[in-house]
């Protein structure tokens, strides 16, 4: 299976928001190479199918060295996921720093951001499948808490951009003012990724019918933006992000 060029390509980030690397300065070159090789292997074959010996060989280090730096495969998988989310977010970053984005209304910004995540999920199903497998692994495996915190921060690295777009929309009048934005953000983020993960698993029962699978993600994004524009039901009224 061909690798996703988008996620195997290393790119330097600009100064807008993302750091140059998702890892701390304590990460040495061998650590980074091991994570990069693990990410490629896990994307291609899945986490369960790749033994640590193969990661060590691909990274050019001994197995004992690999285990010294990453106590378990779950720890390594979380680091790999952190790197992949970082590269995923680089694609969104390209949108955020564009002049066209800065000229949008708040609602248009949120529409563009939501659409960007939707499109990235559709274009990178193996990334989605990898995250799905990692989620299930985290239910049963213990993981280094600092690694998990880094992973969590990477997933949410663009929350502040979404929130600023929401505030801009309240100011320019394009977005309704009676929205609990944290609840909105979590609901839409979970819905988009959750449906994308289900689609990545394939049809399990006849009624799944994924013949128009991409339309499901399009509809979720459209419903979210329509709600913010003031034509939704209003059932999620809870106040603003500062409450």
* Distance in angstroms (rounded) separating the CA atoms of residues 80 and 6: 15
Residue-wise over 124-162: b if at least 16 C-beta within 10 A, else e? bebbbbbbbbbeebbeeeebeeebbebbeebbebbbebb
Beta strand residue intervals within the chain, DSSP E: none
The pLDDT, as a whole number, for residue 9 is 35
Q: Is 150 helix (H, G, I), strand (E, B) or coil?
A: helix
Q: How does the average pLDDT of the chain come out, rounded? A: 83
Decide which of 198 and 109 is more confident: 109
The pLDDT, as a whole number, for residue 29 is 60
* Structural domains of the chain, with CATH: 29-70 (1.10.10.60), 85-243 (1.10.357)
pTM equals 0.79
- Which pLDDT band holds residue 234 (cuts at 50, 70, 90)? very low
DSSP 11: -
pLDDT digits over 190-226, tens only? 999 999 998 888 766 676 666 767 788 999 999 999 9
- Which pLDDT band holds residue 90 (cuts at 50, 70, 90)? confident
pLDDT digits over 132-174, tens only? 999 999 999 988 888 899 999 999 888 999 999 999 999 999 9
Polymer length of the chain: 243
* Distance in angstroms (rounded) separating the CA atoms of residues 237 and 243: 12
Average pLDDT over residues 3-21: 37
Residue of 175, 163, 162, 159 whose CA lies nearest to 105: 175
The pLDDT, as a whole number, for residue 208 is 60
The pLDDT, as a whole number, for residue 204 is 63
Q: Is the pLDDT of residue 239 over 50?
A: no
200 contacts 128 by C-beta, under 8 angstroms: yes
The pLDDT, as a whole number, for residue 215 is 84
Average pLDDT over residues 13-35: 56
* Distance in angstroms (rounded) separating the CA atoms of residues 31 and 225: 41
Q: Is 180 helix (H, G, I), strand (E, B) or coil?
A: coil
Lowest pLDDT segment from 35-39, 51-55, 110-114, 216-220 = 216-220
């Amino acid at each position: 299976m061909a690798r996703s060029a988008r996620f195997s390509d290393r790119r330097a980030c600009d100064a807008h928001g993302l750091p140059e690397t998702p890892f701390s300065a304590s990460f040495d070159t061998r650590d980074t190479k091991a994570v990069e090789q693990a990410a490629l292997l896990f994307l291609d074959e899945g986490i369960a199918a790749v033994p640590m010996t193969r990661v060590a060989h691909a990274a050019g280090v001994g197995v004992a060295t690999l285990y010294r730096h990453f106590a378990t495969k779950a720890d390594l998988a979380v680091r790999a996921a952190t790197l992949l989310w970082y590269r995923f977010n680089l694609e969104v970053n390209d949108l955020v720093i564009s002049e066209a984005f800065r000229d949008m209304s708040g609602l248009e910004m949120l529409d563009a951001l939501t659409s960007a995540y939707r499109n990235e999920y559709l274009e990178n199903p193996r990334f989605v499948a990898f995250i799905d497998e990692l989620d299930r692994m985290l239910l049963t495996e213990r993981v280094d808490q600092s690694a998990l915190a880094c992973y969590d921060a990477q997933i949410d690295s663009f929350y502040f951009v979404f929130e600023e777009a929401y505030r801009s929309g309240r100011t320019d009048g394009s977005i309704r003012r009676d929205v609990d934005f944290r609840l909105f953000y979590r609901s839409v983020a979970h819905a988009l990724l959750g449906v994308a993960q289900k689609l990545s698993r394939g049809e399990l029962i006849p009624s799944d019918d994924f013949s128009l699978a991409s339309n499901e993600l399009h509809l979720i994004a459209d419903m979210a933006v329509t709600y913010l524009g003031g034509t939704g039901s209003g059932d999620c009224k809870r106040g603003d992000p500062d409450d």
